[in-house]
């Protein structure tokens, strides 16, 4: 049974909207990925994952060899994203993943790679 508090149904998820019809994302996660994550297509892997999951935010390489991710969306979808990030792309390997749940900014139109 689903309860509906405003917004519209999207598959089995409820998507909240503002008065102007913009989608409000209910959760956000900030991740730092350690391991063999640079030079292996990790940012493109994350961007491709998010496009199929309807997640907004960004991914970028950091100077210490890690990858930083900020992702916003439905909490269940973000939990699914985290599981996929933990596995990483075929040529990469994740040795550690720092996860912080944060407040969504709701300012992103898409998911992008930052350089």
Distance separating alpha carbons of residues 40 and 33, to the nearest angstrom: 13
Q: In what order do the strands lie in the sheet with 8-10?
A: 8-10, 13-17, 23-24
> To the nearest whole number, what is the mean pLDDT of the chain?
85
Express each pLDDT in 61-104 by its tens digit.
999 999 999 999 999 999 999 999 999 999 999 999 999 999 99
CB contact set of 115 (below 8 Å; sequence gap of 6+): 60
Which pTM does this prediction carry? 0.80
User: Which range, 23-27, 62-66, 104-108, is most confident?
Assistant: 62-66
Q: Which residues are catalytic?
A: 43, 61
Q: Shortest CA distance to 1 belongs to which of 100, 9, 19, 57? A: 9
Q: Tokens for 89?
A: 């792309």
Domains of the chain: 27-114 (3.30.70.100)
């Amino acid at each position: 049974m689903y309860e509906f508090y405003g917004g519209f149904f999207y598959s089995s998820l409820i998507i909240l909207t503002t008065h102007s019809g913009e989608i409000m994302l209910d959760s956000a996660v900030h991740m730092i990925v350690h391991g063999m994550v640079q030079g292996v297509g990790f940012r493109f892997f994350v961007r491709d994952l998010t496009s199929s999951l309807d997640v907004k935010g960004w991914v970028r390489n950091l100077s210490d060899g890690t990858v930083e991710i900020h992702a916003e969306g439905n909490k269940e979808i973000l939990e699914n994203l985290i599981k996929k990030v933990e596995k990483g792309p075929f040529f990469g390997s994740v040795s550690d993943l720092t996860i912080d749940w944060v407040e969504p900014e709701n300012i992103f139109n898409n998911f992008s790679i930052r350089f």
